[in-house]
Amino acid sequence: MISGCSGGGKSTLLAELAARGYAVVDEPGRRIVQQELAANGVALPWVDGTAFARRAITVALADRVQARRLSGWVFFDRGLVDAAAALQYLTCEPALERIGSLHRYHRRVFFTPPWPEIYATDAERRHDLDAAIAEYDRLLRAYPSLGYQVVTLPKVSVLERVGFILHTLME
Protein backbone atom coordinates (compact mmCIF):
# COMPACT_ATOMS: atom_id res chain seq x y z
CA MET A 1 0.00 0.00 0.00
CA ILE A 2 1.21 3.45 -0.95
CA SER A 3 -0.75 6.11 0.91
CA GLY A 4 -0.04 9.41 2.59
CA CYS A 5 -0.38 12.99 1.52
CA SER A 6 -2.14 14.03 -1.67
CA GLY A 7 0.37 15.50 -4.06
CA GLY A 8 3.24 13.69 -2.36
CA GLY A 9 4.35 11.74 -5.43
CA LYS A 10 2.33 8.51 -5.13
CA SER A 11 1.22 8.36 -8.75
CA THR A 12 4.71 9.04 -10.08
CA LEU A 13 6.10 6.37 -7.79
CA LEU A 14 3.51 3.81 -8.89
CA ALA A 15 4.17 4.62 -12.55
CA GLU A 16 7.84 3.78 -11.99
CA LEU A 17 6.94 0.52 -10.24
CA ALA A 18 4.68 -0.39 -13.17
CA ALA A 19 7.47 0.45 -15.63
CA ARG A 20 9.63 -2.05 -13.76
CA GLY A 21 7.02 -4.76 -14.26
CA TYR A 22 5.26 -4.68 -10.91
CA ALA A 23 1.48 -4.85 -10.77
CA VAL A 24 -0.11 -1.61 -9.64
CA VAL A 25 -3.66 -0.68 -8.77
CA ASP A 26 -4.60 2.90 -9.55
CA GLU A 27 -6.13 5.10 -6.88
CA PRO A 28 -9.88 4.48 -6.50
CA GLY A 29 -10.55 8.17 -5.86
CA ARG A 30 -8.96 9.37 -9.08
CA ARG A 31 -10.89 6.81 -11.11
CA ILE A 32 -14.16 7.78 -9.44
CA VAL A 33 -13.55 11.49 -10.00
CA GLN A 34 -12.79 10.89 -13.69
CA GLN A 35 -15.98 8.86 -14.13
CA GLU A 36 -18.15 11.32 -12.21
CA LEU A 37 -16.79 14.33 -14.10
CA ALA A 38 -17.42 12.59 -17.44
CA ALA A 39 -21.00 11.76 -16.43
CA ASN A 40 -21.81 15.01 -14.58
CA GLY A 41 -22.14 12.90 -11.45
CA VAL A 42 -22.24 14.02 -7.84
CA ALA A 43 -20.08 11.39 -6.08
CA LEU A 44 -17.23 13.88 -5.99
CA PRO A 45 -15.31 14.82 -2.84
CA TRP A 46 -16.20 18.50 -3.27
CA VAL A 47 -19.91 17.81 -4.00
CA ASP A 48 -20.96 14.75 -1.97
CA GLY A 49 -18.02 13.48 0.05
CA THR A 50 -20.03 10.73 1.72
CA ALA A 51 -21.20 9.27 -1.60
CA PHE A 52 -17.63 9.54 -2.87
CA ALA A 53 -16.21 7.70 0.18
CA ARG A 54 -18.83 4.95 -0.04
CA ARG A 55 -18.08 4.44 -3.71
CA ALA A 56 -14.34 4.41 -2.98
CA ILE A 57 -14.93 1.58 -0.49
CA THR A 58 -16.81 -0.41 -3.15
CA VAL A 59 -14.08 0.18 -5.73
CA ALA A 60 -11.29 -0.68 -3.26
CA LEU A 61 -13.01 -3.94 -2.32
CA ALA A 62 -13.33 -4.86 -6.01
CA ASP A 63 -9.66 -3.95 -6.54
CA ARG A 64 -8.65 -6.39 -3.81
CA VAL A 65 -10.62 -9.19 -5.47
CA GLN A 66 -8.96 -8.45 -8.83
CA ALA A 67 -5.50 -8.21 -7.24
CA ARG A 68 -5.77 -11.76 -5.89
CA ARG A 69 -5.39 -12.96 -9.49
CA LEU A 70 -2.01 -11.28 -9.83
CA SER A 71 1.31 -12.77 -8.85
CA GLY A 72 4.23 -11.12 -7.11
CA TRP A 73 4.10 -7.78 -5.39
CA VAL A 74 0.98 -5.73 -6.09
CA PHE A 75 1.21 -2.06 -5.21
CA PHE A 76 -1.96 -0.14 -4.39
CA ASP A 77 -2.27 3.62 -4.82
CA ARG A 78 -4.43 4.23 -1.76
CA GLY A 79 -7.20 1.78 -0.98
CA LEU A 80 -9.74 0.54 1.47
CA VAL A 81 -8.31 2.04 4.65
CA ASP A 82 -8.11 5.48 3.03
CA ALA A 83 -11.75 5.25 1.92
CA ALA A 84 -12.96 3.94 5.28
CA ALA A 85 -11.05 6.69 7.11
CA ALA A 86 -12.70 9.30 4.88
CA LEU A 87 -16.15 7.85 5.49
CA GLN A 88 -15.56 7.71 9.23
CA TYR A 89 -14.36 11.31 9.26
CA LEU A 90 -17.40 12.51 7.30
CA THR A 91 -20.11 10.48 9.03
CA CYS A 92 -18.66 9.29 12.36
CA GLU A 93 -19.60 5.74 11.32
CA PRO A 94 -17.12 3.17 12.69
CA ALA A 95 -16.00 2.36 9.14
CA LEU A 96 -12.34 1.74 10.00
CA GLU A 97 -13.07 -0.94 12.58
CA ARG A 98 -15.86 -2.51 10.51
CA ILE A 99 -14.07 -2.59 7.16
CA GLY A 100 -10.38 -1.94 7.63
CA SER A 101 -9.74 -4.76 10.05
CA LEU A 102 -11.40 -7.39 7.81
CA HIS A 103 -9.49 -6.71 4.61
CA ARG A 104 -5.75 -6.59 5.20
CA TYR A 105 -2.88 -5.35 3.07
CA HIS A 106 0.81 -6.01 3.73
CA ARG A 107 1.79 -5.07 7.28
CA ARG A 108 4.04 -2.26 6.03
CA VAL A 109 2.35 0.74 4.45
CA PHE A 110 4.45 3.34 2.65
CA PHE A 111 3.47 6.96 3.20
CA THR A 112 4.36 9.93 1.05
CA PRO A 113 4.77 12.86 3.44
CA PRO A 114 3.53 16.37 2.71
CA TRP A 115 5.83 17.87 0.09
CA PRO A 116 4.83 21.49 -0.58
CA GLU A 117 7.44 21.91 -3.31
CA ILE A 118 5.72 19.37 -5.59
CA TYR A 119 2.09 19.78 -4.45
CA ALA A 120 -0.28 20.93 -7.19
CA THR A 121 -4.01 21.01 -7.69
CA ASP A 122 -5.67 19.94 -10.92
CA ALA A 123 -9.16 19.15 -12.26
CA GLU A 124 -9.28 16.00 -10.13
CA ARG A 125 -7.46 17.30 -7.04
CA ARG A 126 -9.15 20.53 -6.03
CA HIS A 127 -8.32 20.65 -2.32
CA ASP A 128 -5.48 22.79 -1.07
CA LEU A 129 -2.34 21.66 0.73
CA ASP A 130 -3.83 22.34 4.17
CA ALA A 131 -6.71 19.93 3.44
CA ALA A 132 -4.20 17.39 2.10
CA ILE A 133 -2.17 17.63 5.30
CA ALA A 134 -5.30 17.23 7.45
CA GLU A 135 -6.13 14.05 5.52
CA TYR A 136 -2.54 12.85 5.90
CA ASP A 137 -2.74 13.34 9.67
CA ARG A 138 -5.98 11.31 9.82
CA LEU A 139 -4.41 8.50 7.79
CA LEU A 140 -1.29 8.61 9.95
CA ARG A 141 -3.56 7.71 12.88
CA ALA A 142 -5.85 5.31 10.98
CA TYR A 143 -3.28 2.84 9.65
CA PRO A 144 -1.48 2.21 12.98
CA SER A 145 -4.86 1.87 14.72
CA LEU A 146 -5.40 -1.19 12.52
CA GLY A 147 -1.97 -2.63 13.27
CA TYR A 148 -0.08 -1.43 10.20
CA GLN A 149 3.51 -0.24 10.35
CA VAL A 150 3.78 3.12 8.58
CA VAL A 151 7.04 3.66 6.72
CA THR A 152 7.49 7.28 5.66
CA LEU A 153 9.17 7.66 2.30
CA PRO A 154 12.07 10.07 2.05
CA LYS A 155 11.77 13.17 -0.13
CA VAL A 156 14.16 11.93 -2.78
CA SER A 157 13.96 11.08 -6.48
CA VAL A 158 11.40 8.57 -7.66
CA LEU A 159 14.18 6.09 -8.48
CA GLU A 160 15.53 6.36 -4.92
CA ARG A 161 12.02 5.96 -3.50
CA VAL A 162 11.44 2.78 -5.51
CA GLY A 163 14.77 1.42 -4.31
CA PHE A 164 13.84 2.29 -0.73
CA ILE A 165 10.50 0.48 -1.00
CA LEU A 166 11.92 -2.65 -2.60
CA HIS A 167 14.78 -2.80 -0.09
CA THR A 168 12.35 -2.34 2.83
CA LEU A 169 10.06 -5.11 1.56
CA MET A 170 13.00 -7.52 1.40
CA GLU A 171 13.88 -6.97 5.08
Q: Where are the domains of the chain?
A: 2-170
pTM, whole model, 2 decimals? 0.90
- pLDDT, position 91: 96
Region 2-170: CATH code? 3.40.50.300
The closest of 76, 81, 72 to 63, measured between CA atoms, is 76
Distance CA 114, CA 152 (A): 10
Q: Report the pLDDT value the prediction gives residue 123, as an integer from 0 to 100.
A: 67
> Do the Cβ atoms of 103 and 149 come closer than 8 Å?
no
Residue 165 CB contacts under 8 Å (≥ 6 apart), including other chains: 2, 13, 17, 110, 153
54-79 residues labelled b (16+ CB within 10 A) or e (exposed) = bbbbebbbebbeebeeeeeebbbbbb
> Minimal CA–CA distance to 109: which of 135, 75, 70?
75
- The predicted-structure confidence for 27-84, as pLDDT tens digits, reads as follows 999 899 999 999 999 999 999 999 999 999 999 999 999 999 998 999 999 999 999 9
